[in-house]
């Protein structure tokens, strides 16, 4: 070792220094380990052994991936299966921009890699939540949100509106109070959170959707068949499929939305089912839900409530 390193007190390198060392070695691949020792001393005043340099450089992939705020950690506990974790980390780097990573997905991949890397005498190791946390810490993997939006609800005067709802509901038995609502099913949409090694740019989401109309009564004794509204009258996936066997109703329009025409059809179908009963149907207040539909045979009351309430 160079003479100027003699007498310098040995000090453990922090992960941030190890990270800087690995980057320096990556940028200057022709440097010897002795030269790297001298670089550490020159820049950080530390005397480190050649073995420390060697071990650090071997783990370059791990140290280069560390999150900056972990740089003051002095000792980074090595993984029990470093080859497996290295392969797992490379897999995450390869797919993190295309697939939203979850802890369950990473654990399943780790189990598969264990069998692939150790096909004979596969170690009996449990990839627990604890292991996942340590793996994420070793490689600087955090939970990032790709997309987000916030909103607020105007609560002023809400209590008065709720009183009118209660007065109306009290006129019916629980079994005769139905609530119907629609929800968008974005069946190609990926989750908005993903485990990754860095903050990722948001990708344009595929917002192709179906609308699903759901209805049941208050005591849960009647759950009506779902109405599915898509964009195409005859989707290819329904080829050779008997829709009557699916226990749902399928309708279509250009936007895959509930419309006034479809809602009236829905109500008239429900009217036929409820002959002889007096029911309350609660729906959101929107243009697709007309308050009055003529010619119903059932004692049918449609109440449109503000979406903020329902």
CA–CA dist 47, 32 (Å, integer):
16
Q: Are residues 182 and 124 both part of a single domain?
A: no
The predicted structure's pLDDT at residue 153 = 44
Cα 42 to the center of its chain, rounded Å: 46
Residue 197 counted as domain residue: yes
Cα 162 to the center of its chain, rounded Å: 34
Other Cβ atoms closer than 10 A to 233: 10
Beta partners for 223?
216
3-state secondary structure of 299: strand
| Element spanning 90, H or E | helix 82-95
Residue 310 counted as domain residue: no
CA–CA dist 78, 69 (Å, integer):
19
Other Cβ atoms closer than 10 A to 86: 16
Of 116, 143, 170, the domain-final residue: 143
Of 16, 36, 70, the domain-final residue: 70
Residue 48 counted as domain residue: yes
CA–CA dist 257, 289 (Å, integer):
12
Closest among 141, 145, 150, 142 to 202, alpha carbons compared: 145
pLDDT tens over the chain, length 310 residues: 444 445 444 567 888 888 889 989 998 989 999 999 999 888 888 888 888 899 899 888 878 776 555 444 455 567 889 889 999 999 998 888 777 888 889 999 999 999 999 888 888 899 998 899 889 888 888 887 765 443 344 444 556 667 777 888 888 999 999 999 999 998 888 777 777 777 777 677 778 899 999 999 999 999 999 999 999 988 888 888 888 788 899 999 999 999 999 999 999 999 888 888 888 888 888 888 887 788 777 666 666 665 444 4
Tokens of 247: 């226990």
- Give, as one character, the DSSP assignment of residue 9: P
CA–CA dist 92, 99 (Å, integer):
9
Q: Are residues 126 and 28 both part of a single domain?
A: no
Q: Are residues 191 and 255 both part of a single domain?
A: yes
Residue 153 counted as domain residue: no
Q: Are residues 168 and 274 both part of a single domain?
A: yes
DSSP-derived secondary structure for 34-77: HHHHHHHHHHH--B--HHHHHHHHHTHHHHHTS-GGGTT-S--P
The predicted structure's pLDDT at residue 216 = 95
Q: Domain of 132?
A: 82-143
Provide CB contacts within 8 A for 117, sequence distance 6+.
81, 83, 84, 87
Q: Are residues 248 and 277 both part of a single domain?
A: yes
C-alpha neighbours within 13 Å on the C-beta side of residue 165: 18
The predicted structure's pLDDT at residue 194 = 76
Provide CB contacts within 8 A for 193, sequence distance 6+.
100, 143, 144, 145, 146
CA–CA dist 60, 291 (Å, integer):
67
Q: How many domains does the chain have?
A: 3
Q: Are residues 54 and 23 both part of a single domain?
A: yes
3-state secondary structure of 29: coil
Residue 77 counted as domain residue: no
């Amino acid at each position: 070792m160079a003479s100027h390193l003699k007498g310098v007190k040995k000090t453990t390198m922090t992960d941030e220094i190890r990270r800087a060392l690995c980057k320096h070695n990556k940028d200057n691949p022709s440097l010897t380990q002795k030269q790297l020792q001298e670089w550490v001393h020159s820049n950080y005043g530390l005397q480190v052994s050649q073995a420390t340099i060697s071990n650090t450089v071997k783990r370059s992939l791990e140290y280069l991936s560390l999150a900056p705020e972990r740089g003051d950690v002095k000792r980074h506990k090595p993984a029990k299966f470093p080859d497996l974790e290295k392969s797992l980390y490379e897999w995450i780097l390869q797919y993190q921009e295309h697939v939203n990573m979850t802890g369950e997905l990473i654990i399943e991949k780790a189990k598969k890699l264990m069998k692939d890397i150790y096909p004979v005498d596969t170690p009996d190791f449990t990839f627990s939540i604890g292991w996942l946390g340590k793996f994420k810490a070793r490689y600087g993997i955090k939970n990032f949100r790709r997309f987000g939006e916030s909103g607020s609800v105007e609560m002023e005067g809400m209590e008065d509106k709720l009183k009118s709802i209660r007065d109306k509901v009290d006129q019916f038995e629980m079994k005769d109070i139905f609530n119907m609502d629609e929800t968008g099913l974005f069946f190609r949409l990926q989750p908005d959170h993903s485990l990754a090694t860095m903050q990722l740019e948001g990708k344009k989401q595929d917002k192709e959707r179906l609308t699903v109309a759901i209805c049941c009564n208050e005591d849960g004794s009647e759950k009506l068949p779902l109405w599915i509204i898509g964009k195409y009258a005859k989707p290819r996936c329904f080829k050779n499929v008997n829709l009557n066997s699916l226990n749902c109703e399928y309708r279509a329009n250009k936007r895959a939305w509930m419309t006034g025409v479809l809602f009236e059809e829905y109500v008239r179908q429900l009217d036929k089912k409820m002959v002889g009963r007096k029911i309350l149907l609660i729906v959101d207040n929107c243009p697709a839900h007309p308050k009055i539909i003529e010619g119903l045979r059932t004692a049918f009351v449609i109440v449109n409530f503000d979406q903020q309430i329902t």
